[in-house]
């Protein structure tokens, strides 16, 4: 797996785009967030007036005018790291493409050297809780700006937003969109099936843009196809073309379901034929065999095989890579000598 520095390069080596990312540039004063059933899920609870204009002292959302079930607490990102990481770890198995963070990588979302801020204030974190249990969080930075008429036109730059249920998710987004002194919210890397698109009042003011993200290369076809499960029962023969990995070439019978799969070499007639890049694209379940067939990259030899395989390979949630996993990208994120966070807050550490 990799992220491509230049998209056309890696298709030549059998990589396929397996996950995409959605970027949002939201005119926050022009949109509203719908209230999911069960309340709008917001109670400010940090003992002070936060910058989104909500009263956080009496446990009520001033706009809703009633008690709500979600507590939002503005916290130091370093001090809330443990709770947020525990929540993130519970989210990983729910979406293909998300990465389990190895030791040390939990600090990546907190990297916030001044040279990287581009005029924004230091990174902040708002944590959503129900009865003391973390149900979501968002990390963000605010860059205040002013128009020529002295009108506040600041920007909220969203780094992370994770939530377990619709109420917490809506509450976090409402918090971000209603930040004082801002008129714009930027969220550069979100899943393409982001629920925000179905909560916001006018998606036309959100400028959604979809780009390529994660590329997958299947090196050992039978091992890879056996390693995953399938959304529906599948029994078909795939004919794979892979000039760079000749051990993958040929016909493979794939039999599987939600419990597991078996993939063995066969000489039976193929049901579908495709190349290595196409197999990499569909492997995580975000790109469908049907859409690749429409582009001529998958061929159906047995009627009905394409529809059945499309259903079996599909994922209930779109694959998504929340952050770059290549260590070579870290120097791009931080200039020499970044301030790396520690458990007690930032401490100067020189990158070698």
Catalytic residues: 10, 325
The DSSP symbol for 132 reads T
Report the candidate in 19, 10, 5, 53 with the shortest Cα–Cα distance to residue 213: 19
Taking the CA atoms of residue 114, residue 160, residue 38 and residue 71 in that order, the dihedral angle to the nearest 10 degrees is -40
Per the CB < 8 A criterion, the answer to whether 184 and 20 are in contact is no
Alpha helical stretches, state H, the chain: 7-11, 81-91, 166-177, 196-199, 221-227, 276-282, 289-294, 305-313, 330-333
E runs forming strands in 105-181: 124-130, 133-143, 154-163
The two tokens of residue 239 are 């004919």
Separation between Cα atoms, residue 287 and residue 290, nearest integer Å = 9
The CA distances from residue 298 to 83, 156, 282, in Å, are 44, 42, 11
At 125 the three-state DSSP class reads strand
Per the CB < 8 A criterion, the answer to whether 105 and 324 are in contact is no
């Amino acid at each position: 797996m990799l992220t491509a520095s230049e998209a056309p390069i890696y298709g030549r080596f059998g990589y396929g785009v397996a996950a995409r990312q959605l970027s949002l540039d939201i005119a926050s004063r022009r949109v509203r967030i719908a209230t999911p059933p069960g309340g709008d899920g917001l109670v400010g609870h940090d003992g002070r007036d936060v910058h989104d204009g909500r009263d956080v002292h009496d446990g009520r959302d001033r706009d809703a005018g009633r008690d709500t079930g979600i507590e939002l607490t503005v916290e130091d990102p370093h001090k809330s790291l443990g709770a947020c990481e525990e929540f993130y770890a519970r989210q990983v198995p729910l979406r293909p493409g998300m990465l389990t963070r190895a030791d040390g990588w939990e600090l990546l979302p907190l990297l916030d050297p001044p040279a990287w801020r581009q005029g924004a204030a230091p990174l902040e974190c708002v944590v959503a809780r129900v009865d003391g249990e973390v149900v979501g969080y968002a990390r963000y930075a605010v860059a205040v700006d002013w128009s020529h008429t002295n009108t506040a036109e600041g920007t909220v730059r969203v780094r992370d937003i994770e939530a377990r249920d619709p109420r917490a998710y809506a509450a976090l987004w409402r918090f971000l969109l209603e930040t004082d002194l801002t008129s714009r919210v930027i969220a550069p890397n979100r899943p393409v099936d982001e629920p925000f698109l179905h909560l916001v009042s006018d998606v036309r003011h959100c400028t959604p843009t979809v780009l390529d993200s994660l590329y997958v290369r299947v090196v050992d076809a039978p091992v890879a196809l056996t390693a995953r499960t399938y959304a529906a029962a599948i029994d078909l023969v795939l004919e794979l073309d892979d000039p760079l990995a000749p051990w993958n070439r040929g016909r493979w019978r794939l039999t599987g379901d939600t419990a597991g799969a078996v993939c063995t070499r066969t000489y039976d007639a193929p049901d579908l034929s495709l190349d290595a890049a196409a197999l990499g694209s569909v492997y995580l379940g975000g790109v469908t065999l049907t859409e690749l067939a429409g582009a001529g990259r998958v061929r159906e030899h047995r009627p009905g095989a394409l529809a059945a395989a499309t259903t079996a390979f599909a994922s209930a949630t779109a694959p998504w890579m929340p952050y770059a996993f290549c260590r070579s990208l870290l120097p791009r994120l931080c200039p020499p000598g970044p301030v790396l966070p520690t458990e007690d807050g930032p401490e100067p550490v020189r990158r070698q």
